[in-house]
């Protein structure tokens, strides 16, 4: 099987010791107390409404709207899509996609992830819990099983350099999902004219200031060839990484973002 070969090629990034029995609806016990879970639920409730109030003031421009209409709003024949962006953009894109159709999103099993998962559910996402450090292989297989298991067509994704970086270095997990489901891999980036940057965050997280403008750019969709392994896979992933970096740099320059490129190293 392609997947059997592929899982060994990404073992350095994801622990893909995947078993045959996966169900994304199955409850997974997280190692948190009732008090921790209650606190996470309260924070996620407040964070959801805070994000709605804050980001509702932000004006949005879309670059390459045809890609957005065809592949995210699913104008035409429905199909699976993997949306790929760097972690720095995650907060605003998380909000931006809140009103679309069926959406899967990978969120870490950490306590912070418990808060994020609560926000995700309130925004209409279905969280799949895992990351490159905890349960990532299982979460990826859950996504693949769900997307291949019925008639629904899903938008799914996670930050492709998350959850811990290095910043703007593509990991292979969502490439695996796109390969195994036939989903199109669509690069995305956003920037703005007035941003708040978190300089101590590993990804240099950005969010727009109230009443500012954000620009969201979509790159051309990519079909991932079946059966990529080894050096061919590495070469293909580096091309996707370069394309996503160019898209990010372009939208930063268009918006006049002064911190453009601060999240990159070695470029």
Tokens of 218: 């979509």
Which DSSP letter does residue 103 get? E
For residues 231-249, one letter each, b for 16 or more C-beta atoms within 10 angstroms of the residue's C-beta and e for the rest, the string is eebeebbeebbebbbebbb
Q: Enumerate the domain spans of the chain.
A: 59-105+152-255
Tell me what pLDDT residue 163 has. Answer: 80
Query: How long, in residues, is the chain?
Result: 267
* pLDDT tens digits, one per residue of 172-200: 999 999 999 999 999 999 999 999 999 99
* DSSP code of residue 224: P
Q: Which residue has the tokens 């990404």?
A: 10
141 burial (CB, 10 Å; 0-12 / 13-18 / 19+) is buried
**Segments of the chain scoring below 70 in pLDDT:** 1-30, 131-136, 259-267
User: What pLDDT does residue 119 have?
Assistant: 95
Q: Which tokens is 200 given?
A: 């101590």
Report the b/e string of 47-68 with b at 16+ CB within 10 A: bbeebeebbeebeebbbeeebb
């Amino acid at each position: 099987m392609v997947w059997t070969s592929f899982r060994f090629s990404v073992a350095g990034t994801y622990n893909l010791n995947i078993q045959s029995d996966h169900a994304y609806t199955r409850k997974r016990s997280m190692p948190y107390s009732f008090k921790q879970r209650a606190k996470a639920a309260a924070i996620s409730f407040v964070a959801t409404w805070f994000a709605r109030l804050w980001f509702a003031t932000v004006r949005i421009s879309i670059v390459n709207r045809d890609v957005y209409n065809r592949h995210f709003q699913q104008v035409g024949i429905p199909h699976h899509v993997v949306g790929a962006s760097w972690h720095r953009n995650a907060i605003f894109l998380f909000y931006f996609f809140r009103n679309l159709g069926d959406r899967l999103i990978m969120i870490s099993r950490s306590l912070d992830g418990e808060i994020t998962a609560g926000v995700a559910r309130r925004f209409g996402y279905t969280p799949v819990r895992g990351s490159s450090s905890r349960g990532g292989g299982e979460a990826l297989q859950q996504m693949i099983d769900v997307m291949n298991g019925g008639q629904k067509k899903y938008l799914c994704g996670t930050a492709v350099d998350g959850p811990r970086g290095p910043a703007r270095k593509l990991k292979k997990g969502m490439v695996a999902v796109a390969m195994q489901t036939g989903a199109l891999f669509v690069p995305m980036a956003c920037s703005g004219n007035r941003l708040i940057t978190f300089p101590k965050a590993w990804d240099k997280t950005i969010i727009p200031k109230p009443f500012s403008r954000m620009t969201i750019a979509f790159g051309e969709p990519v079909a991932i060839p079946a059966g990529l392994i080894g050096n061919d896979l590495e070469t293909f992933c580096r091309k996707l990484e370069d394309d996503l970096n160019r898209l990010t740099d372009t939208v930063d320059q268009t918006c006049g973002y002064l911190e453009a490129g601060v999240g990159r190293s070695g470029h």
